[in-house]
């Protein structure tokens, strides 16, 4: 009876997409259910998966909204490489 | 001070509705708060309830997005009944 | 496929008990599963319930650990009744 | 590696706003990350924050949807003051 | 920055064990982090995993504590096979 | 009515302690409740805080149990400094 909750930011992995696609979500559901079967022998039909997409403004990292944090890290890297 | 989180798929129970209605949500809030009063003597005003509606693409069961899983089970039942 | 999470403090309702009993937990599980059947027509076997017992030191209310908050409220009431 | 989840109702604090603003969210992220650094010495970059905005219909308090509960309390206060 | 929460009952998969072993937990952590890299290109170091082990008395399914539900299902199967 | 959940690993910040102390937890509860008052005008008595302490074996980062990940990062740093 496992429950797996996957929290991700709502943003795309590809050029045009602005969120994970239905296919990507299905791959997450399939993969993690299979993992619980492989590792803990949990039957597929006893696993629930919930994907929670969080707006980037609502996700914090490093004390900042995540997009600001990424920019800061990118500029730090650019700086240290300069 | 209980906190109750109810996660459901965003879909209606009735013909036209595409999600739980305000009345259904109020019935969930009332019922579960009363349950905590009856079973654990928690006063109504000390219970918080959060209803989390999850898109069907974001809910997995049986290794599949839930709508695909329901179709699969329905066709299996139809097959075994045939 | 609802998932219901019930968070309560780990403490008893009766004289001797220091936590919710097995019977009280079973009553919560039964009651909330029935509620989802009654209100949203969710079959009993599609509902998962997780009860999360939280140490009182780990629960905050009113800016204080919950036991301290209860004492403060009780003394305020005693004061206003005096 | 702390994870902080902040659940709030989706409603504004100011006249015109109908939800927490980006600035308010950034202030929550900054403040709570700093708190974990001050109290538990957790580096800022190891703390994740997720803000979960919940529709007022989906939030229950006192056995009622939260807006109904607030109205009830306000009218009780008005009554006891009368 | 994904966060993955895996909730399982606290019970072993092998004869003697009474809970998931450290190795099984490490396999879950590795597998699900890799899955997020493969499907959504999330770097390993940006994924947090939390495994939440829940006492069997605290997990409900089918309106019953989960061990009771499993017994009921097993006896139903035995009955229908008889 | 905010609910704040703070997930941390169960380990001490000081020499002898093997977990956050009661005082540290009280400081987290006080600080985050005050933050919600300052930023969103939420009264102290309407905020619930839950601190969830997670065993280090149950926390993953970088595809590894967190203690293994910290060791790996420390040895990488030592290597790059060598």
Tell me the sheet residues that pair with E64. Answer: E61
Q: Which of D75, D64, D56 is nearest to D9 (CA)?
A: D56
The verdict on a CB contact (< 8 Å) between C1 and B59 is yes
pLDDT at D40: 96
Confidence of residue F18 (pLDDT cuts 50, 70, 90): confident
pLDDT for residue B14 is more than 90: no
Q: Chains that contact B by 3+ CB pairs under 8 Å?
A: A, C, D, F
Q: Which of B49, B56, B48 is nearest to B25 (CA)?
A: B49
Confidence of residue B64 (pLDDT cuts 50, 70, 90): very high
Q: Which of B50, F70, E58 is nearest to C50 (CA)?
A: E58
Q: Which of B10, B51, B11, B45 is nearest to B29 (CA)?
A: B51
- Beta carbons of E53 and E17 less than 8 angstroms apart: no
Q: Report residue F24 as tokens.
A: 């540290």
Closest-CA distance of chain C to residue B81, Å: 21
pLDDT at C1: 83
Tell me the sheet residues that pair with D8. Answer: D53
Domain ranges of chain B: 3-81
The verdict on a CB contact (< 8 Å) between F61 and E45 is yes
pLDDT for residue D38 is more than 70: yes
pLDDT for residue F38 is more than 60: yes
Cα-to-chain-centroid distance, residue F75: 23
Confidence of residue C82 (pLDDT cuts 50, 70, 90): low
Q: Which of B33, B45, B50 sits opposite D54 (nearest CB)?
A: B50
Superfamily for the C3-81 domain: Macrophage Migration Inhibitory Factor (3.30.429.10)
Q: How far is CA A1 from CA C46, E69, F39, in A?
A: 11, 11, 40
Which residue of chain A has the CA closest to B60?
Answer: A49
pLDDT for residue C17 is more than 90: no
Cα-to-chain-centroid distance, residue D62: 17
- Decide: helix, strand or coil at residue C45: helix
pLDDT at E15: 63
Across F31-37, average pLDDT:
98
Q: Do chains D and A touch (3 or more CB pairs under 8 A)?
A: yes
Q: What is the largest CA-CA distance in chain A?
A: 53
Q: Which residues of D68-79 are buried (b: 16+ CB within 10 A; e: fewer)?
A: bbeeeeeeeeee
Q: Chains that contact C by 3+ CB pairs under 8 Å?
A: A, B, E, F
Confidence of residue A15 (pLDDT cuts 50, 70, 90): low
C-alpha to C-alpha distance for D9 and D19, rounded to whole angstroms: 8
Q: Tell me the average pLDDT of chain B.
A: 93
The verdict on a CB contact (< 8 Å) between B28 and C9 is no
Q: Report residue D72 as tokens.
A: 């009830």
Q: Do chains E and C touch (3 or more CB pairs under 8 A)?
A: yes
pLDDT for residue A79 is more than 90: no
pLDDT at B23: 97
Q: Is E18 left (phi over 0), alpha (psi -120 to 50) or beta?
A: alpha
Q: What is the 3-state secondary structure (H, E, C) of chain B?
A: CCEEEEEEECCCCCCCCCCCCHHHHHHHHHHHHHHHHHHHCCCHHHCEEEEEEECHHHEEECCEEHHHHHHHHHHHHHHHHC
Other CB atoms within a 10 A radius of the CB of residue A79 amount to 8
Q: Chains that contact F by 3+ CB pairs under 8 Å?
A: B, C, D, E
pLDDT at F82: 58
Give chain A positions within 8 Å (CB) of D4: 60
- Decide: helix, strand or coil at residue D69: helix
Tell me the sheet residues that pair with F64. Answer: F61
Q: What is the 3-state secondary structure (H, E, C) of E38-54?
A: HHHCCCHHHCEEEEEEE
Give chain B positions within 8 Å (CB) of A35: none
pLDDT along chain E (82 residues), means of 10: 96 79 97 98 96 98 97 90 64
Q: Which of A33, A45, A50 sits opposite B58 (nearest CB)?
A: A50
Q: Which residues of E are catalytic?
A: 2
Across D13-39, average pLDDT:
92
Q: What is the largest CA-CA distance in chain F?
A: 53
The verdict on a CB contact (< 8 Å) between B5 and C4 is yes
Start-to-end CA span in chain A (Å)? 52
In chain D, % of residues over pLDDT 70: 94
Bridge-based pairing of strands B3-9 and C3-9 is antiparallel
pLDDT for residue C68 is more than 80: yes
Window C:19-58, CB contacts with B under 8 Å = 20, 24, 27-28, 31-32, 35-36, 38-42
The verdict on a CB contact (< 8 Å) between C48 and E64 is no
pLDDT, greater one: F18 or C75 = C75
Q: What is the 3-state secondary structure (H, E, C) of F26-71?
A: HHHHHHHHHHHHHHHCCCHHHCEEEEEEECHHHEEECCEEHHHHHH
Confidence of residue C41 (pLDDT cuts 50, 70, 90): very high
A2 catalytic residue (yes or no)? yes
Q: Which of D1, D2, D48, D81 is catalytic?
A: D2
DSSP H stretches of helix in E1-82? 22-40, 66-81
Confidence of residue A14 (pLDDT cuts 50, 70, 90): low
Q: Which of F9, F35, F49, F53 to mutate to probe the C interface, most C CBs <10 Å?
A: F49
pLDDT for residue D13 is more than 80: no
C-alpha to C-alpha distance for A3 and A32, rounded to whole angstroms: 10
Query: How many interchain CB pairs under 8 A, B with C?
Result: 78
Confidence of residue F12 (pLDDT cuts 50, 70, 90): confident
C-alpha to C-alpha distance for E67 and E77, rounded to whole angstroms: 15
């Amino acid at each position: 009876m496992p429950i797996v909750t996957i929290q991700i930011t709502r943003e795309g992995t590809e050029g045009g997409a602005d969120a994970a696609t239905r296919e990507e979500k299905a791959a997450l559901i399939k993969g993690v259910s299979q993992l619980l079967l492989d590792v803990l022998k949990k039957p597929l039909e006893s696993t629930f998966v919930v994907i929670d997409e969080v707006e980037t403004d609502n996700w914090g990292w490093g004390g900042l909204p995540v997009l600001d944090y990424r920019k800061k890290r990118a500029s730090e890297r650019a700086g240290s490489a300069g």
